[in-house]
Amino acid sequence: MPNDRLRRKFASRISPDTRIEAAFAIKGVKGPRTASASSVLARYIERYGLTSTLGSHRLLGAQWLVVTEHRMLLFEKRGSGVLTRIGQLEHELDRTSVELQWADFTEATLHKRLIHLTTSDHRMNISQTVVSNDEPDLFVQAVGDRGREIGLQEL
């Protein structure tokens, strides 16, 4: 089931007549892998030597990912838990210039999804989200044939 309340918040920021196909929070990893950041996401980034150039400009690395019919928008995510707010627009991408690799995994009893976005000019956003509603699945559907599921068996 889509998160209509969250979509309404973004519609007022973007344009009320823009169709939002998915909206959810993503979180990246900042800095080198440490004992406290030995997550699947950190191991994936380290293993393939990746750098998230479309990540958040903030220290905690959380963003809102919003997919419209023509664009992918990355907004700053302020606050945590119940008290989250939408910050400034950090990145705006044409949907047709973005490819997706994704993988589902379980970590700390949570169902999560690794999201690796790559633009046609080789910028990347490597992050994860907790799969708690339909939004991450709607995102994968919206990307369509520019997305592919990857395996994380070796991590």
Surface-to-core class of residue 19, CB atoms within 10 Å of its CB (0-12 exposed, 13-18 middle, 19+ buried): exposed
What pLDDT does residue 31 have? 57
What pLDDT does residue 154 have? 62
What pLDDT does residue 124 have? 95
- What DSSP string describes the chain? ---HHHHHHHHHHH-TTSPEEEEEEEE---SS--GGG-SHHHHHHHHHT---TTS-SSTT-EEEEEEESSEEEEEEEES-TT--EEEEEEEEEEGGGEEEEEEEEEETTEEEEEEEEEETTS-EEEEEEE--SSHHHHHHHHHGGGEEE---TT-
What pLDDT does residue 60 have? 62
Q: Which domain holds residue 131?
A: 4-149
Residues 6+ apart with CB under 8 A from 132: 111
What pLDDT does residue 39 have? 84
Could you give the number of structural domains in the chain?
1
Residue 105 lies in a domain: yes
Residue 155 lies in a domain: no
β-sheet bridge partners, residue 105: 112
Answer yes or no: are the C-beta atoms of 62 and 55 closer than 8 Å: no
Enter the tokens of residue 113: 């999804």
Indicate the pTM of the whole model. 0.88
Return the CATH number at 13. Answer: 2.30.29.30
- Per-residue pLDDT 10s for the chain (155 aa) are 668 889 999 998 998 889 999 999 999 876 555 445 558 998 899 888 898 888 776 666 799 999 999 999 999 998 776 677 899 999 999 999 999 999 999 988 999 999 999 999 999 999 999 999 999 999 999 999 999 999 877 66
What pLDDT does residue 153 have? 73
pLDDT tens for 92-135 read 999 999 999 999 999 889 999 999 999 999 999 999 999 999 99
Enter the tokens of residue 86: 């939408």
Residue 15 lies in a domain: yes
What pLDDT does residue 79 have? 76
What pLDDT does residue 151 have? 87
What pLDDT does residue 58 have? 66
